[in-house]
Structure 1
Amino acid sequence: MRLTVLGGCGAWPTADQACSGYLVEYAGFRLLIDPGYATLPRLLQHGTVDAVDAVLISHGHPDHCADLNPLLRARGLSDDPPPPLPVHAPHGAVDAVLALDKPTMLAGAYRLHEFTPGDRFEIGPFTTDTWLLPHFVPNAGLRLTTPGAVLAYTGDTGPSPDIPRLARGADLFLAEATYVHQVPTGDAPYLLTARLAGQYAHQAGAARLMLTHLWPGTAPEAAQTAAAETFKPPIAIATPGLITRL
């Protein structure tokens, strides 16, 4: 399994960092996870739009799914459109993005497969287990399993005893870490700190930790240092172009 980071910025993109977006490849299958703001240009640095085999979305916030629209436009409006793209998302999560165009415009560009967090299903060679994790909107924590590796990803989440279960024994734990040490009180049930992400990685016995969804302007070194208080390195930061093999 190979993970290529397209972006890992929370809330909005910056000049040098797209929002959440990850390309996961195994056995020739290319799965795009969470095409957030500004991820399509990053994706095009690694291949054409018709090379994506499926999309998997954790939740409906635009910093995790907004670039589904230009991706579908680039595929559906091309001179030689590829087959419809399977899009897997929680119920209703991509309704707003799909509504950006009239229904007939991109109808042939995708096939929507909605799921309820807690479901298990197959996407190409990946066995996908999902957990309902606490966020402002329904969010699915994702665990992708192949014969050789396990990738666990939180999407966006607040504290939950299910997070170590999601990441148990994972070869890579991709964890949201919006804040370094403390989440503002009103948001505390719905977002994590880098330190808590490290604690969950330790509890899960994950082999490696990658922090993502850092608030714009957060110093990556500060997040790594906070996570290292509770998890022994290696600890990486999700930055565009970073490639990790599991």
Structure 2
Amino acid sequence: MDFKGAYTWGNFQFLLDGFLVTLEVAFISILLSFAIGSIVGILRYAKIPVVSAALAVLVEIIRNLPLLLIIFFTYFALPEIGIKLEIKWAAIAALTIFEAAMLSEIVRSGLLSIERGQIEAARSSGLTYVQTMQHVILPQALRRMVPPIVSQFISLLKDTSLAVIIALPELTHNAQIVNGQNVNYIIPIFLLTAVMYFAVNYTLSLLAKRLETRQRSPKVKVNSQQAAQSLGA
């Protein structure tokens, strides 16, 4: 093991460049997958004829496929039908598709966790379905969804390493290139790589635990009658 040779400024900067790509891909994928997953989850919860059933089938198919297969599909198969994506956007597309399916289930489960009585009370107070969703269901459901959503984001960040298979210049890919310089660099470089992943993921896990603790503490429930009165004011 050659820690001194491995931990040069040039190698560290190269790894940092890869880590920035990892964070960029993860950040964009998180935003897109959360938006798409939320829409899909709400549509499934609404039980719209045909639409909800079709989305349920699509979500189940994606959730039961390996992410690696989806990465292969976006990078190698899509060009066969005329859709060619750059490596970074192929990785983002694959991660977004996979994570959106996962997040849609979290959103749907969060919405289903709200007691039916609150929904009925809100509707009987004069709120429309959309107003009930906006002012009664979603505020409570979001608080319950935050911890599992953060945990899913942690998984997404770690899953970016799978994009090494299509040569995305992310952290794991760059670590392999540095290791190729000298066999004695393998342990030092992988240790440094692990520390970089751990630093971000552990911070997010602490955030998830903190949010989960706050979720378990007593909270004031949304009063549907007050919501109806405020809307009518």
TM-score (norm 1): 0.23
With a CA cutoff of 8 Å and minimum separation of 6, indicate the structure with the bigger relative contact order.
2
Tell me which structure has the larger Cα radius of gyration.
2
Task: Pick the structure with more helix per residue.
Answer: 2
Task: Pick the structure with more strand per residue.
Answer: 1
TM-score (norm 2): 0.24
